[in-house]
Structure 1
Amino acid sequence: MKAIVMIDYGTPDVLQEQEIAKPELKETEALVEVFATTVNSGDHLILSGAFRDIIPLRFPHILGIEIAGVVREVGANVTHVKQGDRVIGLAATGGGYADYAVVEEKGLTVIPSTLSFEETVALPAVGLTAWQALFPYGQLQPGQRILIHAGAGAVGHLAVQLAKQHGAYVIATARAENHEFVRQLGADEVIDYATTDFGETVRPVDIVLDMVRDGGDTERKSYTVLKEGGKLLSLVSPAIDRNPRTRGIEARFVRVEPNRSDWLSLIRQVQDQQLKVHIDRIFPFNAEGIAEAHRASGTGGKKGQLLIARDR
């Protein structure tokens, strides 16, 4: 089969197409023919080498943790999916940038025929991150005030929608050119982080969702806008769990876990047109397209999700 592999850490230039053997199944896995995948922030950080101490790799390595496609084979102990099912999946160790990927059964869920791969492929990781950050971790309640950093991004644009639908007062940061987009998602206030110090303008909030990689500046400033007893939820700083409590503020790193019930809730909202996965751009499913998608991911400023999809 064809696969787009990384042959070393570095820039997108280390991605190349290779012909490799189709992966073999374990009893708890399914083989999925991949029709769509994404450039997840995790993929981008693994490629750069930023996670080399956390996730050591053997090269060549196939990136792509979010997939959408059709089940072609199942392991002996797989019961939730069957051959021919249209699925979305979270491939925890990667594998999506290939013709076929093997995914643990717990990382897969079936999608209805009424939804496309393109509008659901971002749900396995990006959608799940937004959902679990807001609800299992944040315990967001109607009427609470929440500050969502990077509100126009892949996770942010879904978190804004979900929080607003849940009855929260939503404040988001975004580039000036993305303000109207974020307001249309439901944000009550939008702050231009390039020109405005949110620490001086945001009135106290119950929850902050931080996904900004800036050396911890946004994290430190976020403490100043939280109410006593509030929650600071980070998608970028695993060490935040060890922070001493300040004014009763609970600081937690969001560790996303596959959860079929959460996925089904997200799928249902997409079906009911309550949740919209905005696609910024779709790139071709080849080495050049995937490399270009990673370059676009590194520049920032996108609205929603970057997808990689095959012609069908």
Structure 2
Amino acid sequence: MRAVIQRSFGGPEVLRVVETERPKPRSGEVLVRVRASAVNPVDLAVRSGAFPLLGEPPFGVGWDISGEVVEAGPGARYEVGEEVYGMPYFPRAATGYAEYVAAPSRHFARKPATVDHVHAAALPLAVLTAWQGLVDGAGLAQGDRVLIHRAAGGVGHLAVQIAKARGAHVIALGSEERREFLTGLGADEVVDYRSVDFTEAVRDVDVVFDSTAQGERSLAVLRPGGTLVSILEHGDAALAERVKAAGYRFKGVSVEPDYASLEAVAALVDAGRLRPFVQQTFPLEEAAKAHEAVATGHVQGKIVLTV
């Protein structure tokens, strides 16, 4: 099979398509023929060595995949022919930029029926990050006020929709040119972070969803007892203590595979209440170009590889 492998840390040019052996599923695992694989910022950090999550190369990055089951080990949850999507193995290597991936069947859920593989692949890591932060961590409920940083990005645009589906009042931080996009997703208010200091423009929110490492500044907009959800500073024990000492709740998100949440997400997608936005697709052979696109920091929604 073809897979994208890197043999050293470095820029996008280290990503190379190679021929390698197709994996074999074990008990409880499925072999998925990958049709699409999304690119996330963590992929770039691991590739460059800035975030040495997988140790030393060689290895393959990529975790978000959508495809169909072509082989099922004994006891697997799915049968041959079923379409699935998921984020297998994270934070261990999954080598998601590949034609085939073998992984535990509970790392996958059935693909939403109303979207294609490209859009399904855009979901898992980003949507699980948002879901595990807002729903599992903060317990976001009807009527809560939530502020979402970087709201037009990969995680943010899904967080906006999840919060809206939960009945929250959504305040989105984004650029003025993304206002129409964000209101179309359900944002009740859009604050242009380029021209406005959000700590002066926003007050009395129940939950802040922070994907920008601005946790300490974000406390200024929380009501007493409110919750700070952080995805970049989830391991900062000192910050967590300062947040709690100030009278707030702290929930750090280190995303993990979760088929039950992916099933709930698929239901929202098929009900028309959540839609992933894909800005651009690249073929597997152009994984380096896909990484360059994500590296601009101005992607609306997601970048996806077609396999």
Common topology (TM > 0.5): yes
Q: What does residue 253 of structure 1 align with?
A: 252
- CA-CA distance at 1:156 after TM superposition: 0.5
Deviations 1:155-202 (A, max 9, x none): 111111121222211111112221221121111211222222111111
Is 1:295–2:292 an aligned residue pair? yes
The answer as to 2:83 corresponding to 1:86 is yes
- For residue 221 of structure 2, the aligned residue among 209, 221, 225 is 225
Size of the aligned set, in residue pairs, is 301
Could you say if the C-alpha distance between residues 148 and 113 of structure 1 is closer, same or farther in structure 2, counting changes exceeding 3 Å? closer
CA shift for structure 1 position 265:
1.4
Aligned partner of 2:156 in structure 1 is 156
* TM-score, normalization by structure 2: 0.93
Post-superposition Cα deviations, 1:67-114, rounded to whole Å, max 9, x if no partner, equal 011111122232x11212111121222211111111111101222554
Post-superposition Cα deviations, 1:196-253, rounded to whole Å, max 9, x if no partner, equal 21111111211100111xxx4x222101111111111011113334422133211121
Q: Choose the corresponding residue for 1:63, options 56, 61, 64.
A: 61
- 1:42 paired residue number: 42
Which is bigger in relative contact order (C-alpha 8 A, separation at least 6)?
2
CA distance in 1, matches of 2:217, 2:58: 40
Which residue in 1 is equivalent to 2:261?
A: 262
How far 1:146 sits from its partner (Å)?
0.6
Matched, 1:279 2:284: no
Residues 122-137 of structure 1: matches in 2 within 5 Å? 122-137=122-137
Distance across 1 between alignment mates of 2:121 and 2:291: 17
The one-letter amino acid of 2:250's match is A
Q: Following the alignment from structure 2 to structure 1, what is the Cα–Cα distance between the partners of residues 281 and 27?
A: 34
Q: CA RMSD in A?
A: 1.6
CA distance in 2, matches of 1:4, 1:13: 11
Aligned partner letter, 1:272: A
- Partners in 1 of 2:230 and 2:205 — Cα distance? 15
2:174 is equivalent to residue 169 of structure 1: no
Contact 2:112 2:269 in 1 (8 A): no
2-structure distance, mates of 1:12, 1:206: 40
Tell me the secondary structure at the aligned position of residue 227 of structure 2: strand
Query: Does the CA contact (< 8 Å) of 1:282 and 1:307 recur in 2?
Result: yes
- Counterpart mapping for 1:11-22 below 5 A: 11-22=11-22
The SS at the match of 1:154 is: coil
CA separation in 2, counterparts of 1:266 and 1:238? 23
Q: 2:231 is aligned with what amino acid?
A: L
Contact 1:241 1:251 in 2 (8 A): no
Offset of residue 142 of structure 1: 1.3
Tell me the equivalent position of 2:139: 139
Give the Cα separation in 1 of the matches to 2:44 and 2:293: 10
How far apart are residue 16 of structure 1 and its match? 0.8
Structure 2 distance, partners of 1:58, 1:25, is: 25
Taking a change above 3 Å as real, the CA distance of residues 113 and 190 of structure 1, as seen in their structure-2 partners, is closer
Greater mean alpha carbon deviation, residues 240-249 or residues 169-178: 240-249
Alignment correspondent of 1:234? 230
Q: Whole-Å Cα distance in 2 between the matches of residues 123 and 297 of structure 1? A: 16
Partner Cα distance (2:27, 2:46) in 1: 28
What TM-score comes out, normalization by structure 1 length? Answer: 0.91
Percent sequence identity over aligned pairs = 37
Gaps of 5+ in 2: none
Which one-letter code corresponds to 1:30 in the other structure? V
**Separation in structure 1 between the aligned mates of residue 294 and residue 146 of structure 2, nearest angstrom:** 26
How far apart in 2 are the matches of 1:309 and 1:174?
A: 28
Q: Measure how far apart 1:257 and its partner are.
A: 3.0
